[in-house]
Amino acid sequence: MATRTRRPERRQEPLSREHIVGAAVELLDAVGEDGLTFRALAERLATGPGAIYWHVRGKTELLAAATDAVVAAAVTIEPAESAESADSPQDGIRAVALGLFDAIEEHPWLATQLATQLSRSPWGTVAPRIFESIGRQVCALGVPEESWFTATSALMHYILGAAGQNAANTASAGTARPDVDRAVVLDAVSAAWEGLDPDDYPFTRAVAKQVRGHDDREQFLAGIALILAGITAIHSLTT
């Protein structure tokens, strides 16, 4: 007697670009950029690759859309409930900065994709979205219009650079020695710096102890505070 081959279950709800991008983000988080294929995505969405191509033309566009979706969520600032409780522009900048910092740490593929998107297609959606979210707060600080681009660029470069480096450090430590925790790694770095030649590296030796036990988020926010203090000081001097 002939037997019927069981067909894979098909999705019940209509397929949309939003569903595709959301599934792509999940795949990227799970298996990385190399594992993101239209075949794997089709299996996750219980559909055929052709249906996905109807909404997304290829992997490059899919990666850009996934990056933009994560960035959009990261830089969204919830409005204050009232004017009295409205956040300051400084708070807004810190919120955007931490949103991106956490997103880059949560999604290991994001730092590389941000660098790719910003260098290859700065006219796309990702760069303007980040620039806009920071720039609006810079305007609200009272920075003169002729300094908007410079101030916003300084903040954006610091945020993406520091967050990306932090994510790279985390990934490198986990790959090289997955059984060793962060405190052990920092102790090793601190000890290595303390052992440097005192004539060639007097400053590095002096701060070596500060490496131990430092908090990455606090250090990141301290950098934001330094830049904001500089922007405020320069603006005060020029008005």
Q: How confident is the model at residue 10 (pLDDT cuts 50, 70, 90)?
A: low
For helices 182-194 and 202-211, give the axis angle rounded to 10 degrees: 160
pLDDT at 34 over 60: yes
Amino acid 147 reads S
| pTM metric for this prediction | 0.85
SS3 of the chain: helix, strand, coil, percent, to 5? 70, 0, 30
- Choose among 36, 209, 15: nearest CA to 107: 36
pLDDT at residue 235, as a whole number: 82
Cβ neighbours around 219 below 10 Å, total = 12
The structure tokens listed for 41 are 């995505």
CA–CA distance, 19 with 55 (Å, rounded to integer)? 10
pLDDT at residue 136, as a whole number: 95
Give, in degrees to the nearest 5, the angle at Cα 217 between 99 and 121.
Answer: 45
CA–CA distance, 26 with 222 (Å, rounded to integer)? 32
pLDDT in tens, 180-218: 677 888 898 999 999 999 999 999 999 999 988 888 999
Which residues lie below 8 Å from residue 56, measured CB to CB, with a gap of 6+?
A: 17, 20, 21, 62, 65
Higher pLDDT, 77 or 5: 77
Which residues lie below 8 Å from residue 70, measured CB to CB, with a gap of 6+?
A: 25, 103, 107, 110
pLDDT in tens, 130-172: 999 999 999 999 999 999 999 999 999 999 999 999 888 877 7
CA–CA distance, 69 with 58 (Å, rounded to integer)? 17
- In angstroms, what CA-CA distances link 84 with 92, 137, 187? 15, 18, 45
CA–CA distance, 126 with 103 (Å, rounded to integer)? 14
pLDDT in tens, 43-77: 999 999 899 999 999 999 999 999 999 999 999 97
**DSSP three-state, residue 80:** coil
pLDDT at residue 183, as a whole number: 80
H-helix or E-strand spanning residue 86: none
CA–CA distance, 195 with 215 (Å, rounded to integer)? 23
Average pLDDT, the chain: 87
**DSSP three-state, residue 48:** coil
- Sign of torsion, CA 180 74 52 16? positive
Domains of the chain: 11-57 (1.10.10.60), 58-77+88-237 (1.10.357.10)
Residues 114, 160: contact at Cβ < 8 Å? yes
